[in-house]
Amino acid sequence: MTSAGGRVREMSRELGFDRVAFTGPDAAVEDGNRLASWSEEGKSAGMVWLTRDPARRASPRSFLAEARSVITLAVSYQTGPLPPAPGAAYGRVARYAWGLDYHPAIEARLDRFKDRLRQEFGDVLARPSVDAQPFLERAFARRAGLGFVGKNTNLIIPGVGSTLFLANLVVNLDLPSDDVLPQGCGSCIHCAERCTTGALDTPFSLDARRCIAYHTIENREDIPPALRHRFGDWLFGCDDCQDVCPFNARPLESQWPEFSSDRGPGAWLALGDILQLRTPEAFKSRFAGTSLLRSKRSGLVRNACLVAVHRHAVDIVRDELIDTVRHDPEPLVRSHAAWALGRSGYSWARIVLESARGTETHLVVRNEIEQAIESSSLPPPPKGENKHDTL
């Protein structure tokens, strides 16, 4: 007869998860301390929600008091190689967001998983989690031996890679804990070398203040000026530290149609289209059902301004940028449009900035315009200024 653990493993495969492993509810206590010291160092940047109660994130009992085991699950979102950019005026989307938003896609399968557990084991209590619960998903996955945590802080599963989503079911069933996997990075430091902003200067500890993924997805404010010229092509998220990882050289392909590019934004988005999204409604209807909603309209349009400079596309999206600096409703966005115009080095851009200075009423934006006018007398950034430009 198949054991309870064996049956749960079979179910996870039948429901399309690529890997499964079990651990106990108290496995990640130390990781809660890690989270606390990480945030004390300031590395959580503006993600206050993440660091409010580290001990709570390390214990699934906070959302299921009867928890006896954690079923940790992984599903690949790898859907083939990066296609070439359709043109210069395009920004890159991180791979995890190419298809539909992963939360509802995974939650639907976890709901079916819950039903199957009840059919098999009777009145089982099961609480699903994909980001929605305060839960250290990587820590539990590592403790369960689902994979190991790499120096880039991602969970890596040998034979799968790290381009995977994690999900969990916390249950009141007793399941046998799996063995922890040995750390597999060895002397490799490719991810830290590749990270253009220095966010991985300390291995295993990402500094979100310097992370492109943090700024392009989570940061609702200014991109720090000192980092702006290091963002490369990234419009939403960043895959640099995963693209160079040897464990992603032959990744496991995703079997989930939800993650395919033709269901979502895909790898590249036209900057001109993004720069024209003037209202939250227009943004929501363009990106409904995708992960891009997370950045909000103002975040994505702000990011597009930066990418236009990196891809030497300011002249191509000239009309859209002029309209943005003059008419975008958010000061945040107008500021970044001014920065982009200032960095472009075009004489027409300087004229636009001078006229915007005359009409701009927001003090912070006016300062940004002043600085942009000053920097516009400098020569434009040479092609390839960013050593990782993919142009």
Residues marked as catalytic: 131
Q: Indicate the SS3 state at residue 23.
A: strand
Burial grade of 2 (CB within 10 A; 0-12, 13-18, 19 or more): exposed
Residue 300: partners with Cβ closer than 8 Å, 6 or more residues away: 235, 236, 274, 277, 283, 292
Least distance (Å) between residue 310 CB and ligand SF4? 14
307 is a site residue for ligand B12 (CB under 6 A) = no
Q: Measured between alpha carbons, how far is 195 from 186 in angstroms, rounded to an integer?
A: 18
Least distance (Å) between residue 290 CB and ligand SF4? 19
The only residue of 64, 130, 160, 238 in contact with ligand SF4, by rule CB under 6 A:
238
Phi, psi of 2 (to 5 degrees): -75, 140
Residues that bind ligand B12 (rule: CB under 6 A) add up to a total of 37
Provide the residue count of the chain: 391
Given the complex with ligand B12, which of 166 and 306 has the nearer CB atom? 166
Least distance (Å) between residue 208 CB and ligand SF4? 8
Given the complex with ligand SF4, which of 151 and 286 has the nearer CB atom? 151
60 is a site residue for ligand B12 (CB under 6 A) = no
User: What is the chain's Cα-based Rg?
Assistant: 23
269 is a site residue for ligand B12 (CB under 6 A) = no
The only residue of 89, 94, 227, 275 in contact with ligand B12, by rule CB under 6 A:
94
The only residue of 93, 105, 144, 241 in contact with ligand SF4, by rule CB under 6 A:
241
The only residue of 47, 88, 124, 181 in contact with ligand B12, by rule CB under 6 A:
47
Binding mask 220-239 for ligand B12 (x = CB under 6 A): -----------------xxx
Reported in sequence order, the residue ranges of 217-374 that DSSP labels E, i.e. its strands, are: 234-236, 268-270
Q: Measured between alpha carbons, how far is 152 from 330 in angstroms, rounded to an integer?
A: 34
Residue 236: partners with Cβ closer than 8 Å, 6 or more residues away: 91, 92, 93, 94, 97, 216, 217, 269, 291, 292, 295, 300, 303
The only residue of 171, 185, 217, 245 in contact with ligand B12, by rule CB under 6 A:
217
Given the complex with ligand B12, which of 197 and 324 has the nearer CB atom? 197
155 is a site residue for ligand SF4 (CB under 6 A) = no
Where do we find the tokens 């490799």?
A: 188
**Residue 195 contact, options ligand SF4, ligand B12, none, Cβ 5-8 Å cut-off depending on partner type:** ligand SF4
212 is a site residue for ligand SF4 (CB under 6 A) = yes
Q: Sign (positive/negative) of CA torsion 102, 104, 110, 112?
A: negative
Q: Which two tokens stand for residue 297?
A: 């309209």
Residues that bind ligand SF4 (rule: CB under 6 A) add up to a total of 24
Given the complex with ligand SF4, which of 196 and 375 has the nearer CB atom? 196
Q: Measured between alpha carbons, how far is 47 from 13 in angstroms, rounded to an integer?
A: 34
Q: Indicate the SS3 state at residue 168.
A: strand
| Helix and strand numbers, DSSP H then E, in the chain | 17, 9
Least distance (Å) between residue 214 CB and ligand B12? 4
- Please identify the residue of the shown chain whose CB is closest to the bound ligand B12: 237
Given the complex with ligand SF4, which of 97 and 185 has the nearer CB atom? 185
Binding mask 134-173 for ligand B12 (x = CB under 6 A): -xxxxx--x------x--xxxx------x-xxx-------
Where do we find the tokens 């980092």?
A: 227
27 is a site residue for ligand SF4 (CB under 6 A) = no
Q: Measured between alpha carbons, how far is 255 from 333 in angstroms, rounded to an integer?
A: 38
Q: Which two tokens stand for residue 101?
A: 């938003």
**Residue 105 contact, options ligand B12, ligand SF4, none, Cβ 5-8 Å cut-off depending on partner type:** none
Interacting residues with ligand SF4 (CB under 6 A): 150-152, 185, 188-191, 194-195, 197, 199-200, 206, 211-213, 238, 240-241, 244-247
